[in-house]
Amino acid sequence: MSPVSGSGRLVLAATPLGDIRDASARLVDALRTADVIAAEDTRRFHSLANALQVKPSGRVISFYDQVESARLPGLVEALHGGQTVLLVTDAGMPSVSDPGYRLVAACVAEDIVVTCLPGPSAVTTALAVSGLPSDRFAFDGFPPRKQGERKRWFEPLRTEPRTVVFFEAPHRLADTLADAVDVLGADRQAAVCRELTKTYEEVRRGTLAELAEWAVEGVRGEITVVLAPAPPSEAPDMATLVAEVKQRAADGERLKSAAAEVAEAAGVSKKALYDAAVKSP
């Protein structure tokens, strides 16, 4: 559909992760000219504007998780009135684990123009410096805070064929990496990126076990973790599985039951294994 006639536009703007020099010229111009600036933290926004020596001409409103839904109607109304709304979060790209998704969805539903001023993102920055495969990756936000939920969150990553990027709070990093070791194994490769683009930027690379041991001493700053893809699993050898089924049958177990249990453990078709066992001399 075409945008509603006379409507304004929503501009998503990436802001520096740490180094103010990463701000784009387009961001500076948008800060100066936008009719409304929706900021995750207005104090941090004003600090950013001061550092860039920009005096915003539009009104500045707060737009963080707890008020996002309440602010939507007013912002959509302003957009329908032809105003430009600039959305900025504390650092990086709006909507990527930060406020913005609901506003974008509301604008799409109302046929309002949505555009973006691309720039810094902790997700792609960490991926680029991690030294891990970057041709396919997934972003998983923040792990759950409770250990049981966190371990269940890691379970699907046992066989994840893509590199995975996620955020974590520094005071939970050691526990999270320890849980990753328990679920994913000590030898899975990973990288912990700390304070990206800032003075004390640090990238630690190694196995999960090595990184978990390092994190025990305590880590500070903004944390992004990059997890290597699961190692390719070797296809089970059907002859070996058939031999196991036949041995269990020789020990008194029903052939069909033995085939079902061995197939489930190996991740192969129960019927295919049973048929192979029946045909085996």
Query: Distance between alpha carbon 204 and the CA centroid of its chain, in Å?
Result: 19
Q: What share of the chain is helix, strand, coil (3-state, %, to 5)?
A: 45, 20, 35
Closest CA to 185 of 226, 166, 157: 157
Pairing relation of β-strands 163-168 and 113-117? Answer: unpaired
Cα separation, 69 vs 109, in Å, equals 15
**The tokens 């409770």 sit on which residue?**
146
Domain ranges for the chain: 9-120, 123-227, 238-279
Cα separation, 213 vs 223, in Å, equals 16
Cα separation, 140 vs 162, in Å, equals 12
Cα separation, 19 vs 155, in Å, equals 36
Q: Any idea what DSSP says for residue 91?
A: S
pLDDT reported for residue 121 = 95
pLDDT reported for residue 186 = 96
Name the pTM for this structure: 0.79
199's CB contacts (< 8 A; 6+ apart) are 18
pLDDT reported for residue 4 = 43
Consecutive sets of 10 residues in the chain, 281 residues long: mean pLDDT of each?
62 96 96 97 96 96 93 96 96 90 94 96 97 96 96 93 97 98 96 96 98 96 97 78 92 93 85 91 80
- Cβ atoms of residues 191 and 205 within 8 Å: yes
Structure tokens at 142: 């923040």
Closest CA to 228 of 157, 140, 167: 157
Q: Which helix (H) or strand (E) holds 88?
A: strand 84-88
**The tokens 């020099």 sit on which residue?**
21
What is 123-227's CATH superfamily? Tetrapyrrole methylase, C-terminal domain (3.30.950.10)
* 188-234 residue pLDDT tens: 999 999 999 999 999 999 999 999 999 999 999 999 999 999 988 76
Closest CA to 88 of 127, 47, 133: 47
Q: 9-120: which CATH number, 3.40.50.300, 3.40.50.720, 3.40.1010.10, 3.40.50.2300? A: 3.40.1010.10
